[in-house]
Amino acid sequence: MKIIIYSQHLVSMDGVGNSSIYFENLFKSFSEVSLVANYSNIDRVLNFKEYYKKHNPNDILFYHYSIEDPNIKLLLALKFRKRIIYFHGITPPKFFHPESEIFKSCKKGLKDINLISNFDLYISNSTESKNQFLDKVNQNFIDCKKFINMPPIDLFSEKDKVKKSKSIKSGLNFYYCGTLVKHKNINSLLDLFNKNFKNQINLSIFTSFSKEECLNILGEYKYTEYLENGINFFNKLENEKLNNHLQTMDCFITLSLHEGFCIPLFNAINNFNPGLSFPLKCLEDYFPKEYQYISIGDNLEIIQKKYHNNLENIEKFRDYIKNKAKGYSKTGLDSILNTIE
């Protein structure tokens, strides 16, 4: 038995790429596994064209779907012993310029969901993503009972709590970790700190984007202004260096308007950091009702209160979220094993 983990785009330091590698390691304990992609910067990943030539109908397909896939019709025409899809959610095209390539790719990706049927198991990272998928399929879709939630990676490791007791006034280190695409709302986050929290909370931006890409998105004038006002940018850090920096941070913050899962927030909580975000729908499956979120218009005093509430309850919140994630992971793996038997 061989499991083929396929993703249209499989690169390192990327949500879908990291998820593909997580499932590769998970499946290796009971099966031979191959990573396949249309594009990848990882040496061991087989190009889809090469796989297509030597496809074996006894293979099991584990399909990561997150955006338009130019190979979707070729892939779905192949015979597999079992077919499982992991749907990461697709960013709504409304967040991008109608003439941009990303707008077209997201729109086409949503449209092509209609092609995805007769799978043996459907997995999503959250109920929000599941509902997005079901909203785009034909009304006669009959596979809803085969649809489960499962985290895209192993979210929690055993860690000792690091005591954090700073107040806002003592110079907290807030950080954002992720891309700078439009729906991440990075301009609003930067302006919030630049105009209202300057010299009161430190902000660091960790991104896979290069300095040139940051300049292009933010504009040279604004980028220079942010630097002069103490906002730090870290570009394209390797995982080890990134993790070393994050150990010195106090709170993850994002004003993202849409997430399929928001892995950096879960990572922050795993490190006992009280992350702050808008009340994203994707978090409803995992987070307790007592968790406090940011609202538009929150001032320094309100953010201080929400930060301290989440900090004071971080162990309780972390245990709750961890248990939810572990429960979904166990159910997910059991469902996968039952499907491929």
Encode pLDDT of 1-27 as tens digits.
899 999 999 987 788 988 999 999 999
Mean pLDDT confidence for 100-110: 96
Q: How confident is the model at residue 66 (pLDDT cuts 50, 70, 90)?
A: very high
Q: How far apart are CA 192 and CA 181, in angstroms?
A: 18
User: How many Cβ atoms sit within 10 Å of the Cβ of residue 161?
Assistant: 10
Residues in the chain: 341
**Residue 162 in tokens:** 């690091």
Burial (CB < 10 A; 0-12, 13-18, 19+), residue 144, is: exposed
Identify the band that residue 138 occupies on the pLDDT scale cut at 50, 70 and 90.
Answer: low
- Enumerate the domain spans of the chain: 2-153, 168-323
Q: Are 128 and 108 in contact (CB under 8 A)?
A: no
252-276 average pLDDT score: 93
Indicate yes or no: pTM above 0.85: yes
Largest CA distance in the chain: 62
Mean pLDDT is highest, among 62-66, 187-191, 196-200, 268-272, for 62-66
As its CATH architecture, domain 168-323 has: 3-Layer(aba) Sandwich (3.40)
**Looking at residue 169, what is its pLDDT?**
47
- Residue pair 272/164 in contact (Cβ under 8 Å)? The answer is yes
Predicted confidence (pLDDT) at residue 322 exceeds the cutoff of 60: yes
Query: 276-306 pLDDT, tens per residue?
Result: 999 999 999 999 999 999 998 898 889 989 9
Contact 153, 333 (CB under 8 A): no
* C-alpha–C-alpha distance, residues 178 and 174, integer Å: 14
Grouping H, G, I as helix, E, B as strand and the rest as coil, residue 202 is strand
Cα separation, 182 vs 281, whole angstroms: 18
Domain 2-153 identical in fold to domain 168-323: yes
> One-letter amino acid identity for 286?
Y
At residue 341 the predicted structure's pLDDT band, cuts being 50, 70 and 90, is confident
pLDDT in tens, 197-251: 877 889 999 998 889 999 999 999 999 999 988 899 998 887 778 888 888 899 9
CA distance 207 to 204: 10
Q: What are phi and psi of 12, to 5 degrees?
A: -70, 155
CATH 3.40.50.2000 fits 2-153, yes or no: yes
| pLDDT, tens digit, 9 for 90 and up, residues 143-155 | 666 889 999 999 8
Mean pLDDT of the chain: 90
